[in-house]
Amino acid sequence: MNDKKNDVLLHDYNHDGVNRRGFLKCMAWAGTGAFCVMKGGVLNSYSLSRVSEIGAKEVAGELSFVQISDSHMGFNKAANPDVAATLQVAVDKINALSAAPEFILHTGDISHLSKPEEFDSVEQILKGAHPQDVFYVPGEHDVLNDDGKQFLERYGKGSNGAGWYSFDKKGVHFIGLVNVLNLKAGGLGTLGAAQLEWLEKDVKHLKHSTPIVVFAHIPLWSVYPEWGWGTEDSAQALSYMKKFGSVTVLNGHIHQTLQKVEGNVTFHTACSTAFPQPAPGKANSPGPMKVPAEQLKSVLGITDVNYVQGQHALAVVDSNLT
């Protein structure tokens, strides 16, 4: 991938090869079995189970797509007074990729307050992106006041229930799930019985060798339940994936990059294009993290995912906006 210079350590105060942002990116790896490596001044994130497979080929795969998340169009507070500009920077980064990705996944919180003009702004900005195909799942900010009716009207064509769907690209099966509706007091994200039933049927007919990519807004693993960063019935959903050799779960919501590997499943969360949030438990609340303006773009980003057909390995390379 091009232009990773911002991953170069500029200030290594502890002389341990990890700067603060690098630490935020890496901290979840440390305890859960993943490996961060600086190579040629580039911080790449690879799960431990993939370390042996890392190679230049994976960066130039046969299928590549981009994940963006948490645009929060309409947010205008100190943490980022211009979320349209930072989304535009993300689009510019996508357009600068040496080989155009197949499509874009947006893992929710497109808007900040579910206002029609907020969705319109995001669509307008993404019209300038190559590729044009964008697949969405809703975040909780996209379904305010109307239980997701507007989201479904805008993005739910051909989807099931509250907007869940699946599609196939070059042998990879993609599944978009909705876990931001009907949230219960004191609880976490929820998929619900109807969606779980659909999911079980959706993957039943697939060959065990089919690589699966599941994407949803709220993490489908317990990142930090105290802050609601998890999904109540995700274990049930993931139980349907046991037979598959390669399952990758992509989420947003927490506005930072974390990775975890559990058996055949690799979990990733993406940065926000709008504003960063604190690492789990590192603040009183998960509210927007205010960083100096000149640092903001370094904590926002896009995630490029490359899939190499036949190897069933996904390499996730995180890129930030500067």
Partner 1 sequence: MRRRVFAAALAVVAVSSISIFALGSGRFAVLAQEKSSTSEVKIDNFSFSPATLTVPAGTTVTWTNRDDIPHTVVSTDDPRVFKSKVLDTDEKFSFTFSKPGTYPYFCSIHPKMTGKVIVQ
**Cβ 243 to partner 1, closest distance in Å?**
32
DSSP 8-state code for residue 254:
S
For residue 215, give both structure tokens. Answer: 């994407």
Q: Which is nearer to partner 1, 58 or 140 (CB)?
A: 140
Nearest-Å Rg of the Cα atoms of the chain is 18
Residue length of the chain: 322
Rounded CA gap, 171 and 211, in Å? 7
DSSP-assigned states of every residue in 34-68 = EEEEEETTEEEEEEGGGGGG--HHHHT-SEEEEEE
- Tell me, what amino acid is at 218? I
Please check whether residue 7 is in contact with residue 42, taking contact to mean a CB–CB distance below 8 angstroms: yes
**Cβ 140 to partner 1, closest distance in Å?**
5
CA angle 65, 215, 300 (to 5 degrees): 65
Rounded CA gap, 111 and 148, in Å? 12
Q: Which is nearer to partner 1, 77 or 282 (CB)?
A: 77
Q: Which is nearer to partner 1, 111 or 248 (CB)?
A: 111
Residues lying near partner 1 in the complex (CB under 8 A): 75, 77-79, 112-114, 140-141, 144-145, 183-188, 225-228, 284-288
C-beta neighbour count of 55 within 10 angstroms: 12
User: First and final CA of the chain: distance in angstroms?
Assistant: 14
For residue 237, give both structure tokens. Answer: 């959903």
CA-closest candidate to residue 303, choices 95, 102, 94, 98: 94
Q: Which is nearer to partner 1, 157 or 184 (CB)?
A: 184
C-beta neighbour count of 261 within 10 angstroms: 18
Q: Which is nearer to partner 1, 190 or 210 (CB)?
A: 190
**Cβ 233 to partner 1, closest distance in Å?**
14
Q: Which is nearer to partner 1, 43 or 79 (CB)?
A: 79
Q: Which is nearer to partner 1, 172 or 218 (CB)?
A: 218
Q: Which is nearer to partner 1, 45 or 114 (CB)?
A: 114
Backbone angles phi, psi at 22, to 5 degrees: -60, -40
